[in-house]
Amino acid sequence: MKKGWKETPIRGIILEAGSAHEYSTGGWRKLKPVFDRTKCIDCMFCWVFCPDSAVIVEKGKMIGFDLEHCKGCGICAMECPDKVKAITMVEEEKEKK
Amino acid sequence: MAAEAKIKCSVGLTGNSAVAYAMKQINPDVVAAYPITPSTTIVEEFSGYVADGKVDTEFVTVESEHSAMSACIGASAAGARVMTATSSQGLALMWEMLYIASGMRLPIVMTCVNRALSAPLNIHCDHSDSMGARDSGWIQLYSETVQEAYDNVIQAVRIAEQENILLPVMVCLDGFITSHSIENLCLLDDDVIKKFIGEYKPSQPSLLDVDHPTTYGAVALPDSYMEARRQQAEAMTLSKDVIINAAKDFEKISGRSYGLMEKYRMDDADAAIVILNSAAGTTKVAVDEMRNKGLKVGLLKPRVFRPFPYIEMAEALKNVKVIGVLDRADSYTSFGGPLFTEIRSSLYELDKRPKIINRIFGLGGRDYGVKDSLAVFEELLKIKDMGKIDKVYDYISVRE
Ligand code: SF4
Ligand code: SF4
């Protein structure tokens, strides 16, 4: 049960940090980024440019996407250097089939 | 210290100088403003206090009123005590931000020096500006005189910052008529004001509280928006008592008493004019003239327009036979101005409702003299005798 108006913090403020993490935006996606590890040079462009912090990096290596939060905007695929092109955007539905 | 030493009386100041002086005494953390006639000299004089090191205020000059209110909102969300001033088109340009200030429950205090809205372009007094903002969630206090403007600004800070209120407050005074006229008034001591308003300590973490990071101004979808609005409505309802209590405490330090409204010779009045701001002063002269002739007339001057004190309004008017509500703004409903429709609605619960008419006056600074006031009283008394109303809604002092 969500809080009633008397219990809700006033001002519409959110009192916890990082609460956006609990809000799944992955369902908005039409195109999905697909990543080819063999082409990746770990330049981190995708990580820097992703507006949703949906690029997962571990120990300096790009390892994939957080599809709960990736909205499928394609910025990562666009910014991935032309000579490697390690990310391609594919239609969510087609990929599933 | 003797009481006289605490109150400096017979100081001659214009309305704007008095407001600027009150702001100096309040010493807010941030003032962000953009000049507009007739409120300009408030900010101009206040910037002088900043330049002379008389206040600790961070003075933010911006490129428009939209930005002025935006900067006020940011500063207030960061936990600062914030003030500003504007008029007319400036207030209109702030429109979208007015709702954000109230929706985010930011206790900003703004003086609105009432001026007509364009078109036609006009710099003189009417209440179209603040009346247009009446549904923006701001508390609105109206001031008849320079003294009242000064006193209202000080009380506004206290009202806005109450923990159960946290709403922005707009203090209104008439452009040029009050803002640029010199009146004698009593000023309070800095220390007395400091004690009266206290220190502003936001109860919730502010934007600059890095140990308790919070998000202000986040989206609220259909599952949560309405709760925030419900809270805002509650704060507005509760603010009535806060305004009354602030006035009681203010009386202790100033000797001047305020309430939700002022009743002038209303006790046995058959006919009454309801009117805001400086025109109430003119009307008082007319009331006295009529009373000298043995005619039972009175005046009701609302001080608080938001929240609208509908119970007290009905109580104050219930024994009057004919009421003339004079609006210095029109709502273009073809039915009446904003003050009229709300007062008329307040009377609905009465078993025996007075007759009531609306007259629009003084738009764009059109003069409202004692003779105009007397003419309205005569019309009201005629309605009382005839028992019928010819025109509920009309304009006065307009060339036919
Ligand atoms: S598609 Fe957009 S949201 Fe998804 S990972 Fe790439 S940049 Fe981020
Ligand atoms: S932009 Fe391309 S190459 Fe660079 S880290 Fe991301 S996927 Fe790898």
ipTM: 0.85
Residue type, B62: V
**Residue A70 CB–ligand 2 contact under 6 Å:** no
Does the pLDDT value for residue B3 go beyond 50? no
Contact, B149 vs B18, CB < 8 A?
Answer: yes
Quick: pLDDT tens for A24-38.
889 989 999 999 999
CA distance B158 to B5: 24
Atom of ligand 2 at shortest range from CA of A39:
3
CA A21 to chain B, closest CA, distance in angstroms equals 14
Atom of ligand 2 at shortest range from CA of A85:
2
Does the pLDDT value for residue B5 go beyond 90? no
CA distance B94 to B133: 10
Contact between B166 and A10 using a beta-carbon 8 Å cutoff: yes
Contact between A5 and B223 using a beta-carbon 8 Å cutoff: no
Between A11 and B154, name the one with better pLDDT.
B154
Quick: pLDDT tens for A74-89.
999 999 999 999 999 9
Does the pLDDT value for residue A95 go beyond 60? no
State the pLDDT at residue A19: 85
Q: Please name the CATH architecture into which domain A23-91 falls.
A: 2-Layer Sandwich (3.30)
Mutate to test the pocket of ligand 1, among A40, A52, A88 (most ligand atoms within 8 A of CB): A52
Quick: pLDDT tens for B55-110.
999 999 999 999 999 999 999 999 999 999 999 999 999 999 999 999 999 999 99
State the pLDDT at residue B4: 47
Does the pLDDT value for residue B8 go beyond 80? no
* Nearest-by-CA chain A residue for B103: A11
* Nearest-by-CA chain B residue for A14: B215
Contact, A35 vs A86, CB < 8 A?
Answer: yes
CA distance B152 to B42: 15
The arithmetic mean of pLDDT across residues B176-204, rounded, is: 96
Does the pLDDT value for residue A2 go beyond 90? no
> Which one, of A96, A22, A36, A25, lies nearest residue A64 by Cα?
A36
Where are the extended beta strands (E) located within chain B?
A: 7-14, 30-33, 58-61, 82-86, 109-114, 139-143, 169-174, 182-188, 261-264, 271-274, 297-302, 304-306, 322-327, 355-360, 393-395
Mutate to test the pocket of ligand 1, among A40, A55, A68, A79 (most ligand atoms within 8 A of CB): A55
The secondary structure element, H or E, covering residue A88 is strand A87-91
Question: What 3 state SS string does A67-84 have?
Answer: CCCCCCCCHHHHHCCCCC
The arithmetic mean of pLDDT across residues B309-315, rounded, is: 98
Quick: pLDDT tens for B371-383.
999 999 999 999 9
Quick: pLDDT tens for A40-54.
999 999 999 999 999
State the pLDDT at residue B7: 63
Mutate to test the interface with B, among A13, A21, A24 (most CBs of B within 10 A): A13
* Domains (range + CATH), chain B: 7-254 (3.40.50.970), 261-395 (3.40.50.920)
Looking at the DSSP bridge assignments, the partners of residue B33 are B61
**Ligand whose nearest atom lies closest to the CA of A70:** 1
Provide the pLDDT confidence category of residue B203 given band limits of 50, 70 and 90.
confident
The arithmetic mean of pLDDT across residues B328-357, rounded, is: 97
Does the pLDDT value for residue B190 go beyond 70? yes
Does the pLDDT value for residue A17 go beyond 90? no
Quick: pLDDT tens for B347-368.
999 999 999 999 999 999 999 9
Does the pLDDT value for residue B1 go beyond 60? no
Give the predicted TM-score (pTM) of the model. Answer: 0.91
- From the CA of A52, how far away is ligand 2's center (Å)? 16
User: How do strand B7-14 and strand B182-188 relate by DSSP bridges?
Assistant: antiparallel
State the pLDDT at residue A18: 84
State the pLDDT at residue B276: 98
Atom of ligand 1 at shortest range from CA of A79:
7
Question: Residue B70 phi/psi, 5° resolution?
Answer: -60, -45
Which residues, including other chains, have CB under 8 Å from residue B263's CB and lie 6 or more apart? B298, B299, B300, B316
Does the pLDDT value for residue B234 go beyond 90? yes
